[in-house]
Structures are given as C-alpha cells and as structure tokens.
A and B are shown apart, each in its own frame.
Chain A
C-alpha cells in the first residue's frame, strides 16, 4: 500500500473515471429499456418482452445491432463536421458527469476521497460551460450532413438551446444566492438541516441558517428549460419525426447514431443529477438525522424487491426466465439482508442511495412526460421560452434576493 501511496492521486481518479464511464453507459442502456417499458405501459402495451426475461437483454441486443449495422457515408457531407459531431455530443455529455458529486466524501481502506471524479470550486459554472458547448454537436451534425432535414433540425436546435440556456442559468441563481457558493458539494451541504430532513431542501427552503426561501418557481423553470436543453418531448422539435424525418441525425446510422442516442440519455442523467443537487438536497436523506432506523431503508427495500423478482420468476413463461429471474431475486434478497447486517457498508451507501433514488424519480418524470405530452409548435416553443420562462426566472431571482435581504436585516 505504501509503495503506491504517492501515485494514488492519479490512480484513484483513473479508476473512478473508468468506473463512471462503465456505470453510465450501462445506465444509459437500461434507461432506454425503462423508457420503452414505461411508455409501453402508459399506452397499454407490453414493450420489449422477447429478448431475455421481461426484455432485460434488449439493450444488449440493441448494442450489438448498432455495431453490426452498415455505416453509409452520405454523398456531399462535410467529413470533418460529420465525423466530429457525434464524438463531441457524447464526450461533452459524459464529461458533464465528471463534476457531479454523487455522495458525501468517503473513506475506503483509509484513503479519503470525494464521491465523484472532480471536486471543483466552480463545479456549477463548469457544468454550464460544458452545456454551452453541447450546442455544437447538434449544430455541426445538422450542417455537416448535407441534407435539408438535418440542417433545419440543427438550426432549430441551436436556436432552441440558446434561448433556453438563459432561463436555465437564471433559474439557478436563486439557489446560488442562498448557498453563497458555486460548488455543487457545498450547495448540497447547505441544504442539510438535521432537525427537519427534507424541509431543508431548496425546494421547500427552511435552511439551517434561516435565510432560505422556497425555490419551487426556480425548480419548475429549471426543469422545463432542462427538458428543452436536452431536446426531449415536449420540446423535441429538432427531431420532430412528422416534419423533419429525424432532424439533425437523419443522415446518421450505426454507431454514430448510437453515440447521439447515448449522448442524449447521458445528458438526461446529468440534468436529473443537477436538479437533484440544486433543489432536492442531493444525497441528503429526507428524514431528520435523529431517525437512525431509516438507515436500514435501502437494504430493507431491497429484500421485498428481491422476493418479488423471485416470486415473479418462478412462474415466468420461458424456461430461461424461470432460471434467471429467481437467481437474480435471491441475489438481491441476499444482498439486502447482507447490507442490513453489515453496518459499515450500510452507512456508506446512505448518500448514494438517496441520490440515485432522486435521480431515478427525475428520470421517470422525464419518461412520463414523453408518454403523456404532445409536441410544441416551434413558434410556441420560442414564445414560451422568451416571453414566459425568462421573465418568470428573473422574477424568481428578484424575489429570492429581496427575501434574503429582508431576512438578513430583519
């Protein structure tokens, strides 16, 4: 251990980066599965069901299909832009996860480290810097493809992202005023109010220093702008099928298309993590700190889930499912029981557990919206961004600063 100690500062980040990329790509794959399942159930269908039990191997099949498909090069494309755009989109989306803290600092084998890749003082600004650059991926794809549908999609998307970036940034300033910092870690720590749990989160705003104010307006503005920034329904104008075939990625196929796809889902995860951190207390538990029995919640929730998978697996239609699902269920149950009994690990997973529960809820909300809402018309989208969302976020900023000033002097 002591021999590698001087190099730990470089080894640990590399391990973390590899781990994060692996986890995120897997999460992206299963997010597509979740999306198809949830939308299917909203529309009273079954969704993926053939590949693996409950379609659980569908993402893997999709991945293999993406790699094996032919990758044609359309005539007259601008090669530099055409090849660079998908890389840029995916790269920026994954990079943006690098500054997000997924939990409080942890100590593993005596080495104290932050639960995330980079712990930057200005992590929020860094995140916005990355978001500001992500327009290029879509704009270049649209322009480089040498197709009128792609060009229109790219133009629409650039205009949309520029417009909604303003309200996205302004809706966050209220949170910054309350926390007095640009570091995401400190923003979460500021929302910690041991006595009252979730009431201390920025969305409710009873912070420990009594200078808080509810950021529910900011939260709604942020979420709407974030949906527009990630080009999701109801703001998916850049890829409106009925008007533009597939918008900016019409001319892309195979792995290059997959990179846009993965980039979009990674951006969704990043934005959900950001809204969790800014408004829903990040990794903080919603319960008061004195309720220590809630620390067993992650493991105790895992046990009934495992038992349910086990029970469902026993009477599953295919033999493969009848083998895989019970094994999975028993493993989950055993993991839950083990966590409940082995307290050191149980304490470490508290932060990440709550963080991922909140991110999952946000992602589910995203999918739910896609299953429910129709697409905006383009002029409505622009009107909504400039004439409603932007003034409302400015009003929220003025209101929050007034309340904070009043609380400071009153």
Chain B
C-alpha cells in the first residue's frame, strides 16, 4: 500500500468517525468539535489531491471562521445537553433509520452503476498553483465570482438589518 493511499484511509476513517460522533454525541459543543474534525480531515484530503490552496482555505473558512461562530454561539447561549423526549425516541426507528437506509442504498446503487472512471488524482504530481487558480478566478469566472461576493455582501447587510430590528 502506497503512503498516499495509507494517508487517505487514515483521513477518510477519521472523517467518518468525526461525522458519526457529530450525530451520536448529545452535547452541542462536542458535536461542533466533531464537525471541526471532519472539516480538517477534508482539508487533508484536498491536500492529498494536490489542491494546496483549497486545503488552506477549507481550514481558514470552515475550520476557522464558520465553526468558531458555531462554537461561539453555543457558548454564548450556554446550551446544555440534549434530552431524549418521547417524540425523539419514536422518531429514530420509524423515520431516521428507514430514511438513512433509503439514502444510503440510493448512493450505493448510483456508485455501483456508474461506469465512468474518474481520472486519478495527481498523487505526487505537480500541485495546482494558487497563481493558476486565481488567474482562472479573475478572468474566466470573474462574473460568477463577483456575483457571489455581492450575494454575501447582501446577506451581511440583511443580518445587520435584522439584528437592529431585534435591538429596537
């Protein structure tokens, strides 16, 4: 087994473990921490595919900014452990497990039936340079890029307006 494959399995295993822990743990902060683990493992996987920039941005944006906000809000609200109610006891065997099985089998069927072979990632090959990526982003994809930033700006303004209304 090559080193790259070994690292892939370690990271993938950790990511799956983190995702399972995210659902199974009852305390919101522990769930948030498990989600951070998943994000970091995904960043590692991107790095394995030769996408340095995407990996770093994955950690900065998702691992850093987004999840810090999650943790911050959970801490601020001082949310306690979730409790099992009568409804939640019924919900998992009658809705959760069947739906999860349905989704899982759907993905499994789609994966098994697909015949197209993905090109193998450049393992140990040349890395996608940040310069190439930014050139593409600011020439070919400049309109989608600018529109996305505009959308985010509008979202920020919306959040501020909503918060102000609450304040008054």
- Contact string, B73-85, partner A, CB cutoff 8 A, digits 1/0? 0011010000000
Can you give 30 A-B contacts (C-beta < 8 A)?
A80-B33, A122-B53, A122-B56, A125-B53, A125-B60, A126-B56, A128-B56, A128-B60, A129-B56, A129-B59, A129-B60, A129-B63, A131-B64, A132-B59, A132-B63, A133-B63, A133-B64, A135-B64, A135-B68, A139-B72, A139-B75, A140-B33, A151-B78, A155-B72, A155-B75, A155-B76, A162-B69, A162-B72, A165-B64, A180-B131
| Chain B residues whose CB sits within 8 angstroms of the CB of A131 once the complex forms | 64
| Chain A residues whose CB sits within 8 angstroms of the CB of B78 once the complex forms | 151
**Which chain A residue has the least Cβ–Cβ distance from B64?**
A132
| Chain A residues whose CB sits within 8 angstroms of the CB of B27 once the complex forms | 78
**Which chain B residue has the least Cβ–Cβ distance from A158?**
B72
Quick one: which of A129-145 are within 8 Å of B by CB? 129, 131-133, 135-136, 139-140, 142-143
Q: In the assembled complex, how far is the CB of residue A70 from the closest CB belonging to chain B, in whole angstroms?
A: 28
Q: Is the CB of B60 within 8 A of A136?
A: no
Tell me the complex Cα distance, A222–B129, Å: 26
Q: Is the CB of A154 within 8 A of B52?
A: no
Tell me the complex Cα distance, A162–B59, Å: 14
Q: In the assembled complex, how far is the CB of residue B117 from the closest CB belonging to chain A, in whole angstroms?
A: 29
CB-CB under 8 A for A125 and B56, given A132-B63, A143-B29, A158-B68: yes
Tell me the complex Cα distance, A142–B52, Å: 33
Say yes or no: is A343 at the interface (Cβ < 8 Å to chain B): no
Q: Is the CB of A121 within 8 A of B71?
A: no
Q: How many A-B residue pairs have CB under 8 A?
A: 75
Tell me the complex Cα distance, A143–B75, Å: 7
- Contact string, B37-70, partner A, CB cutoff 8 A, digits 1/0? 0000001000000001100110110011100110
**Which chain A residue has the least Cβ–Cβ distance from B71?**
A139
Say yes or no: is A81 at the interface (Cβ < 8 Å to chain B): yes
CB-CB under 8 A for A159 and B72, given A121-B127, A122-B53, A132-B65: yes
- Contact string, A147-159, partner B, CB cutoff 8 A, digits 1/0? 0000100110011
Say yes or no: is B130 at the interface (Cβ < 8 Å to chain A): yes
**Which chain A residue has the least Cβ–Cβ distance from B58?**
A129
Q: In the assembled complex, how far is the CB of residue B56 from the closest CB belonging to chain A, in whole angstroms?
A: 4
Tell me the complex Cα distance, A81–B127, Å: 36
Q: What is the interface size of chain B, counting residues whose CB is below 8 A from a CB of the partner?
A: 26
**Which chain A residue has the least Cβ–Cβ distance from B32?**
A136
Say yes or no: is A182 at the interface (Cβ < 8 Å to chain B): yes
Say yes or no: is A120 at the interface (Cβ < 8 Å to chain B): yes
- Contact string, A12-55, partner B, CB cutoff 8 A, digits 1/0? 00000000000000000000000000000000000000000000
Tell me the complex Cα distance, A151–B78, Å: 10
- Contact string, B82-116, partner A, CB cutoff 8 A, digits 1/0? 00000000000000000000000000000000000
Q: Is the CB of B130 within 8 A of A154?
A: no
**Which chain A residue has the least Cβ–Cβ distance from B69?**
A162
Tell me the complex Cα distance, A334–B81, Å: 65
Say yes or no: is B36 at the interface (Cβ < 8 Å to chain A): yes
| Chain A residues whose CB sits within 8 angstroms of the CB of B53 once the complex forms | 122, 125
CB-CB under 8 A for A81 and B29, given A121-B52, A182-B130: yes
Tell me the complex Cα distance, A128–B131, Å: 18
Tell me the complex Cα distance, A359–B99, Å: 58
Q: Is the CB of B60 within 8 A of A132?
A: yes
**Which chain B residue has the least Cβ–Cβ distance from A183?**
B130
**Which chain A residue has the least Cβ–Cβ distance from B52?**
A122
Q: Is the CB of A78 within 8 A of B72?
A: no
Quick one: which of A146-192 are within 8 Å of B by CB? 151, 154-155, 158-159, 162, 165, 180, 182
- Contact string, A345-373, partner B, CB cutoff 8 A, digits 1/0? 00000000000000000000000000000
Q: Is the CB of A120 within 8 A of B75?
A: no
Q: In the assembled complex, how far is the CB of residue A133 from the closest CB belonging to chain B, in whole angstroms?
A: 6
Q: In the assembled complex, how far is the CB of residue A406 from the closest CB belonging to chain B, in whole angstroms?
A: 19
Q: In the assembled complex, how far is the CB of residue A231 from the closest CB belonging to chain B, in whole angstroms?
A: 15
Tell me the complex Cα distance, A127–B59, Å: 11
Tell me the complex Cα distance, A384–B129, Å: 36
**Which chain B residue has the least Cβ–Cβ distance from A132?**
B64
Tell me the complex Cα distance, A182–B130, Å: 8
Q: Is the CB of B71 within 8 A of A136?
A: yes
Q: Which of B57, B63, B65, B75 gathers the greatest number of chain A CB atoms within 10 Å?
A: B75
Tell me the complex Cα distance, A221–B59, Å: 24
| Chain A residues whose CB sits within 8 angstroms of the CB of B65 once the complex forms | 132, 162
| Chain B residues whose CB sits within 8 angstroms of the CB of A136 once the complex forms | 33, 36, 68, 71
Q: Is the CB of B52 within 8 A of A162?
A: no
Q: Top 7 A-B pairs ranked by shortest CB distance?
A: A132-B64, A125-B56, A129-B59, A132-B60, A143-B75, A122-B52, A129-B56
| Chain B residues whose CB sits within 8 angstroms of the CB of A139 once the complex forms | 68, 71-72, 75
Tell me the complex Cα distance, A399–B27, Å: 48
| Chain B residues whose CB sits within 8 angstroms of the CB of A125 once the complex forms | 52-53, 56-57, 60, 130
Tell me the complex Cα distance, A128–B55, Å: 12
Q: Given known contacts A139-B75, A165-B64, A180-B131, what 19 new A-B pairs fall within 8 Å (CB)? A: A80-B30, A81-B29, A121-B129, A121-B130, A125-B52, A125-B57, A125-B130, A128-B60, A129-B56, A129-B63, A132-B60, A132-B68, A133-B59, A133-B63, A133-B64, A135-B64, A136-B33, A155-B76, A162-B65
